[in-house]
Amino acid sequence: MSKVVVNRCMSLDGFIAGPGHSMDWGGGRSLADFVDPDDFAAVAAATGAMLIGRRTWDVGERMQAEEPGSVDYPFSGPMFLLTHRPLDRPDPDVRILSGDIGDAVATALAAAGGKDLEILGADVAGQCLQRGLVDEILVYVMPVLLGDGIRFSSPDVTRTDLEPVSSTRSGDTTMIRFRVRK
């Protein structure tokens, strides 16, 4: 059954990006270099659609411009971008949504074809958690302490109780799944 999943790589001290939205996890390695390729492919295969915050989109665009191929997630399904502003370069593969987060999640979930909807962006994930729209959290704990940066969740996310589902070593990361208690 389709689930709404917040899927993140995160430093051990709770940051999903470093200062200035840096996605440097160490040694110049991309995320795909840290995670077992089979796990990476299995999670991508279980994903039917993505709902992406504008800052996440802009960081991805910047990384691609600086180093083509650096955004290398093996996903090719429908993408929905939450933003109040048009893209400088319109992308036919992405649909722009704006407004109520519940409506956005429902629209993206309907396009996921029975697979999971992945939520990308701390602000967007926070809105989804606050509204009780998230079913599962999947975290790849990266072997680094970043000290500063973008936190997993914003301060306006209130207490959310989780049920542990699994914890496994995947490459150089620890992959942890939680179900959100509702």
Ligand X SMILES: NC(=O)c1ccc[n+]([C@@H]2O[C@H](COP(=O)([O-])OP(=O)(O)OC[C@H]3O[C@@H](n4cnc5c(N)ncnc54)[C@H](OP(=O)(O)O)[C@@H]3O)[C@@H](O)[C@H]2O)c1
**Which C-beta is closer to ligand X: that of 3 or that of 7?**
7
**Angle (nearest 5°) at CA 87 between 83 and 90:** 125
Tell me the residue type at 113: G
Annotate 23-48 with b (16+ C-beta within 10 A) or e (fewer): bebeeeebbbebbbeebbeebeeebb
Residue 79 in the binding site for ligand X (CB under 6 A): no
Residue 5 in the binding site for ligand X (CB under 6 A): no
**Which C-beta is closer to ligand X: that of 28 or that of 114?**
28
* Separation of alpha carbons 33 and 30, rounded Å: 5
119-148 positions binding ligand X, by CB under 6 A:
120-124, 127
* Separation of alpha carbons 83 and 96, rounded Å: 7
List the one residue from 4, 5, 16, 117 that touches ligand X (CB under 6 A): 16
Give the residue from 164, 115, 142, 106 showing the smallest Cα distance to 27.
Answer: 142
Q: How many residues bind ligand X (CB under 6 A)?
A: 25
27-66 positions binding ligand X, by CB under 6 A:
53-56, 59
List the one residue from 23, 43, 138, 146 that touches ligand X (CB under 6 A): 23
Binding site for ligand X (CB under 6 A): 8-9, 16-17, 21, 23, 53-56, 59, 82-85, 98-99, 101, 120-124, 127, 150
